[in-house]
Amino acid sequence: MSDQLSFTDIEANICTIANLVEEDKLYFAQMAGAPLMAILLAKHSRTPNVGYVVEEGAVAPSPTFPLPRMMLGASRSHYRAVAWYGMNLVDAHAALGFMDYGLLACLQVDRFGNFNSTHIGGTYEQPERRFGGPGGANEIASQCWRTLLMTKLEKRKFVNRLDFMSSPGYLDGTPGARERAGLPANTGPYKVITQEAMFDFDEETRRMRLIATMPWMTVEQVLAKVEFQPLIADKVERMEPPTEEQLETIRTLLDPGGLAVSRGEWITIDSATGQRAA
């Protein structure tokens, strides 16, 4: 019997993003949960010197591990930063163009990378389910040069029409839409990362484009899990599944309480082939 590897969809996203992190860039990370875990995993493995800010004002911290269960602005997540400021200052750092990548999660995303974190179902006034709101996502998605969005590959998340556009992608997708709206020039969503597929955005049409899948997924299977038809890259690459080492770091050091990853859906693969285990 060959070895199997089990992980949640959220762990898969954390690992994929950690593999994308570039050490010579600055990141503005959503201050809790999986996006922060992704930059921390990168910091702990491939890119120890990568800098990031969080919205409550910690600049380039070097958190101590294991992290506490309550990550929100706690001392260990701000440990050995280069500066402790407040929200207005780090948002200004993004406004000035210093933040290369924003790192965010969302409830729903549309074909132009606009996304929702406000409510699902119903109307704004009478929502079926109200969620927390944009938090810092609107300023991050507006002002960082590129935004990395993570969510789950599911029909109800990749929607034709958002229930609410909390934060901007390429708006209506027309050329210059963000600039016309008043957002900083040449910014926008860069990649959408899910547990089974990765997308980017076509430079001309600004439409989401499938660029990679996990080994156990076919393009057809991905398309069956999204409501809209994304573009498909000429060559769809193969994504690397999480490694044992990455998963161990997440589980023992980054999120020992399992708060960020516990609500995920479990995926089991055969380590040798990368295929879903029977």
Site residues (CB under 8 A) for another protein?
Answer: 55-58, 64, 68-70, 72-76, 78-81, 84-88, 91, 95, 114, 118, 124, 126-127, 129-139, 142-143, 162, 164-168, 171, 177-178, 180-184
Give 56 or 270: the residue with its C-beta nearer to another protein.
56
In the complex, minimum distance from the CB of residue 257 to another protein, in angstroms, rounded to a whole number: 8
Give 15 or 137: the residue with its C-beta nearer to another protein.
137
Asked whether 77 and 61 are in contact (CB, 8 A), the reply is yes
CA–CA gap between residue 254 and residue 241 (Å, rounded): 19
Give 53 or 193: the residue with its C-beta nearer to another protein.
53
Give 76 or 146: the residue with its C-beta nearer to another protein.
76
Give 7 or 27: the residue with its C-beta nearer to another protein.
27
In the complex, minimum distance from the CB of residue 114 to another protein, in angstroms, rounded to a whole number: 8
Cα R_g (the chain), whole angstroms: 18
End-to-end CA distance of the chain: 12
Q: Record the tokens describing residue 134, joined without a space.
A: 């944009």
Give the torsion through C-alpha atoms of 163, 167, 168, 169, to 10 deg.
-80
In the complex, minimum distance from the CB of residue 122 to another protein, in angstroms, rounded to a whole number: 9
In the complex, minimum distance from the CB of residue 215 to another protein, in angstroms, rounded to a whole number: 36
In the complex, minimum distance from the CB of residue 18 to another protein, in angstroms, rounded to a whole number: 24
- Number of Cβ within 10 Å of residue 87's Cβ equals 13
Residues making up the chain, counted from first to last: 278
Distance of CA 110 to the CA centre of its chain: 15
